[in-house]
């Protein structure tokens, strides 16, 4: 008996967006939204576990952390933009206060950099929470149900106990989701996609937290999948020009661009490339950034003649 022909799998194909039947499910009933939310998470999971190594995961998480920070600031009736936050963080000198916007972003950035598979991850996460909340935080091991159900359960508990700590509640919900899915890093999926009215409704016991989180999850996964495809393409272009760069430290500099939303030549590349012992002069740093812009692999983000920032 002739064996059945196995379908060919083309590993070169990348998921660029979620199918329309997933993203159009926002107005459907509970069962349909739960099903499509699960489908969205499954597709994002495939993207994040891509064995090809083309996805710059650290850069994606940094970008999502920035989006989450903007959303959380709006919940606090603040109007800082991504540009404002980039300036606050990238242009600050050592020891400078970052301000509320910069501190919000740094909290999210620190969260997404925690390796959830290593011992001590919980202690590092708790340090990002307000004191009273850290003491009252429920054990993640006590959560039951699906990954989305666990995230919704924790979000509800925290918001009803600490209704003014929306940012911290959203952080914990993302932690619960990542742990339930077996991810080694937190992906900020909820903050930028859970409407204020839903957050208030959950805190006041007037909205179904599971339904709200399912809807936000569809939007969050769709946005993350699109960003993943875009950043993967940009990262490949950046890596492809590495042989053309002759500046000492260019390899380390490219690694910085592939892990940070924005890079300042002064302070992050000079006098030493951040996170390394590799020296780079201020002039060399600026010339490298100009060269990367010229090659079309990096963008200048501010439009200013001075105090410029660059990103993939």
**Listed residue (274, 271, 309, 270) closest to 292, CA to CA:** 309
**Listed residue (154, 206, 161) closest to 178, CA to CA:** 154
Count of structural domains within the chain: 2
Residues facing residue 266 across a β-bridge: 270
Query: Quick one: 126 and 266 in the same domain?
Result: no
Is 299 in a helix, a strand, or coil? strand
For residues 85 and 23, what is the distance between their CA atoms, to the nearest angstrom?
30
Predicted local distance difference test score (pLDDT) of residue 6: 41
> What is the pTM (predicted TM-score) of this model?
0.92
For residues 258 and 222, what is the distance between their CA atoms, to the nearest angstrom?
22
Query: Quick one: 91 and 119 in the same domain?
Result: yes
DSSP class per residue in 248-276: TTHHHHHHHHTT-S-B-IIIIIBSB-TTS
Predicted local distance difference test score (pLDDT) of residue 9: 35
Predicted local distance difference test score (pLDDT) of residue 141: 66
Predicted local distance difference test score (pLDDT) of residue 137: 67
Q: Single out the residue in 176, 210, 232 at which a domain terminates.
A: 232
Query: Quick one: 249 and 131 in the same domain?
Result: no
Query: pLDDT tens string for the chain (312 positions)?
Result: 344 444 333 444 567 888 888 887 666 677 789 999 999 999 999 999 988 889 999 999 999 999 999 999 999 999 999 999 999 999 998 888 999 999 999 999 999 999 999 999 999 999 999 887 877 666 666 788 999 999 999 999 999 999 999 999 999 999 999 999 999 999 999 999 999 999 999 999 999 999 999 999 999 999 999 999 999 999 999 999 999 998 899 999 999 999 999 999 998 999 999 999 999 999 999 999 999 999 999 999 999 999 999 999
Encode 30-56 in three state secondary structure: HHHHHHHHHHHHHHHHHHHCCCCCCCC
Query: Quick one: 130 and 275 in the same domain?
Result: no
Residues facing residue 214 across a β-bridge: none
DSSP class per residue in 2-38: PPPPPPP--TT----S--HHHHT-TTS-HHHHHHHHH
Query: Token digits for 100?
Result: 């509320």
Query: Token digits for 131?
Result: 């004191």
3 is a domain residue: no
Q: Single out the residue in 178, 207, 232 at which a domain terminates.
A: 232
Which CATH number covers residue 30?
1.10.3290
Predicted local distance difference test score (pLDDT) of residue 15: 79
For residues 111 and 143, what is the distance between their CA atoms, to the nearest angstrom?
20
**Listed residue (303, 299, 302) closest to 234, CA to CA:** 299
Distances in Å between the Cα of 258 and the Cα atoms of 60, 63, 100, 232 are 9, 11, 26, 10
73 is a domain residue: yes
Is 97 in a helix, a strand, or coil? coil
Predicted local distance difference test score (pLDDT) of residue 31: 76
Predicted local distance difference test score (pLDDT) of residue 8: 36
Q: Single out the residue in 232, 264, 299 at which a domain terminates.
A: 232
For residues 43 and 170, what is the distance between their CA atoms, to the nearest angstrom?
22
Query: Quick one: 278 and 155 in the same domain?
Result: no
Is 311 in a helix, a strand, or coil? strand
Phi and psi for 275 in degrees, rounded to 5? Answer: 85, 0
Query: Quick one: 295 and 189 in the same domain?
Result: no
Q: What residue numbers bound the domain in which 262 lies?
A: 241-311
For residues 292 and 300, what is the distance between their CA atoms, to the nearest angstrom?
10
């Amino acid at each position: 008996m002739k064996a059945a022909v196995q379908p060919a799998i083309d590993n070169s194909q990348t998921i660029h967006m979620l199918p329309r039947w997933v993203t159009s499910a926002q107005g459907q009933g509970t069962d349909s939204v739960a099903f499509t939310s699960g489908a969205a998470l499954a597709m994002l999971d495939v993207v994040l576990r891509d064995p090809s190594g083309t996805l710059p995961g650290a850069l994606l998480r940094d970008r999502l952390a920035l989006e989450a920070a903007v959303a959380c600031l709006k919940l606090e009736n603040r109007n800082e933009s991504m540009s404002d936050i980039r300036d606050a963080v990238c242009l600050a000198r050592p020891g400078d206060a970052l301000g509320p916007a910069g501190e919000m972003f740094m909290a999210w950035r620190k969260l997404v950099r925690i390796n959830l598979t290593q011992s001590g991850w919980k202690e590092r996460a708790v340090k990002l929470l307000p004191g009273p909340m850290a003491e009252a935080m429920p054990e993640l091991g006590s959560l039951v149900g699906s990954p989305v159900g666990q995230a919704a359960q924790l979000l509800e508990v925290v918001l009803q106990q600490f209704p003014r700590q929306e940012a911290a509640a959203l952080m914990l919900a993302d932690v619960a989701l990542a742990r339930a899915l077996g991810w080694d890093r937190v992906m900020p999926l909820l903050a930028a996609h859970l409407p204020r009215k839903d957050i208030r409704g959950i805190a006041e016991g007037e909205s179904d937290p599971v339904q709200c989180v399912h809807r936000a999850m569809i939007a969050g996964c769709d946005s993350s999948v699109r960003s993943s495809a875009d950043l993967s393409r940009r990262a490949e272009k950046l890596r492809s020009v590495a042989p053309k760069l002759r500046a000492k430290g260019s390899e380390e500099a490219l690694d910085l661009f592939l892990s940070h939303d924005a890079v300042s030549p002064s302070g992050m590349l000079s006098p030493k490339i951040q996170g390394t012992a590799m020296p780079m002069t201020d002039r060399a740093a600026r010339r490298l950034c100009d060269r990367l812009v010229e090659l079309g692999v990096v963008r200048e983000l501010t439009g200013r003649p001075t105090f410029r920032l660059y990103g993939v």
